[in-house]
Amino acid sequence: MSALPTAFYGSDGFMLIAAALVFIMTPGLALFYGGMVNKKNAVTMMMQNFFSAGWTTILWVFFGFSLAFGPDIKGVIGNGHYFFLTHITPSTMYQGNHVISLYTFMVYQLMFAIITPVLMTGAFADRMRFKAFIVFITLWLFAVYFPFAHWLWGGGFLAKWGVEDFAGGIVVHTSAGFGALAAIFYLGHRKHIKPGNHSIPLVLIGTALLWFGWFGFNAGSALRVSIDTNVAFVNTMEAAAFAAIVWMFIDYWRTGKWSALGFMTGSIAGLATVTPTAGFINPQAAMVVGIAAAIICHAAVDFVHKKGWDDSLDVWGVHGIGGFSGIILLGIFGSAAIYGSNGLIYGGAAFFGKQVVAAVFCAIYAFVVTYILMWITDKITPVRVPEGAEESGLDAYEWAEVTYSEA
């Protein structure tokens, strides 16, 4: 085994911790979503999240890592060089910075691949068969996530053009958010909706885990210990805090009541929106991003409700619009003095234009392709549960377990 550079040990250790932080976000999301759905569907909702931890890992080590980060094929996808994790040894260095191992980079990126498709589960809660879910996320990873990761982070055509996405505004949130919108249009409305959240404490715990893990999500995306690592950490905290408080006060101004769910939703909106900007903007801009996230995402959620779209847990309004807005805001506030390119306020009009074009293109792509994949899945196996199962609950219909046993 060849000698490793001295810088390897600190950065590689940090990245393994960051990977673990990102992983904890998946069970955090399971609790966040699981507490928001009716108790008769909570096992189904939570197992969709946990299932991805197993299934996506298999797909990633077999094919996904190589398709996303293997040697580039005409800017579109990676080749099969790393299929089944071949051509990698413990001392193989990640060529992007030469201070972390390729194994560590692979497993860190795996955690993003695990959580991204299950962000969509909150949009089609209460009405999708689990078998169809397995087929759908398999197709979606190959047709949407792996290409997006390559285009932005794996040396694909958007990266070569100069588009930036620090930690997943397009790759994670726009892809999942606009994919979720397509899914709810295809699936249609729930026929039996019981309003309210079955366990606010579960949502609180889930939010805490998501917020905690997001430091690995954003600061870890520096892929080393450096100046932009601590900038991303600070910006992540600021944006989440500003968005949570602003969202809660908007709810109070409109209803005269405080809302724990509003605070938590606002924090997630702030985190999603700051994600693409985290290591590229200064802390003052991060404050603005957090405030903007609350206002824009709150308006998007209101729009969905007024239109009558059945986005069960507001995935498009929070993640889709949050990630999309963050890409645009990066085009405005990006600062080369920190890292990356100058945004519009620093004279980077061309960079701003590229960010807008990329966000619009990827949102349309995610929506159209996801809709097609839903149709294909429906031809392979029925997507929706029967109406009777929707009324009695998906847990009783598909699982041998229930959320709470009757005393």
pLDDT at 1: 44
The rounded radius of gyration (Å) of the Cα atoms in the chain is 20
Distance set, CA 275 to CA 114, 194, 390 (Å)? 17, 33, 35
Residue 4 confidence (pLDDT):
55
Cα distance between residue 242 and residue 259, in whole Å: 16
Angle at 320 between CA 319 and CA 323, to 5 degrees: 75
In angstroms, rounded to a whole number, what is the distance separating the alpha carbons of residues 146 and 73? Answer: 13
pLDDT value for 5: 56
List pLDDT tens digits, range 177-211.
999 999 999 999 988 776 667 899 999 999 999 99
Task: Classify the phi-psi angles of 194: left when phi > 0, otherwise alpha if psi is within -120 to 50, otherwise beta.
Answer: beta
pLDDT tens for 49-108 read 999 999 999 999 999 999 999 999 999 999 999 999 999 988 899 998 888 999 999 999
- Contact, 252 vs 258, CB < 8 A? yes
What local confidence, expressed as pLDDT, does residue 390 receive? Answer: 86
pLDDT confidence of residue 228: 86
What pLDDT score was predicted for residue 389?
Answer: 87
- What is the predicted pLDDT for the residue at 97? 84
> What per-residue confidence (pLDDT) applies to 402?
83
| Token pair recorded at residue 186 | 């295809």
pLDDT score at 198: 85
**Distance (Å, whole) CA 67 – CA 147:** 7
Q: What residues in the chain have per-residue pLDDT under 50?
A: 1, 407
User: Residue 211 and residue 189: Cα distance in Å, rounded?
Assistant: 30
For the whole model, what pTM was predicted? 0.95
Q: Choose among 221, 165, 152: nearest CA to 334.
A: 165
What residue ranges do the domains of the chain occupy?
Answer: 6-384
Structure token pair of residue 372: 């097609």
145 dihedral zone (left: phi>0; alpha: psi -120 to 50; beta): alpha
Could you tell me which CATH number the domain at 6-384 has?
1.10.3430.10
How far, in Å, CA of 7 to CA of 19, rounded? 18
**What tokens were used for 325?**
């807005």
Give the closest residue to 111 by CA, choosing from 173, 183, 199, 52: 52
Report the 10 Å Cβ neighbour count for 86.
9
Contact 35, 202 (CB under 8 A): yes
State the pLDDT at residue 205: 97
Sorted by sequence, the CB contacts under 8 Å of residue 230 that are 6+ apart come out as 219
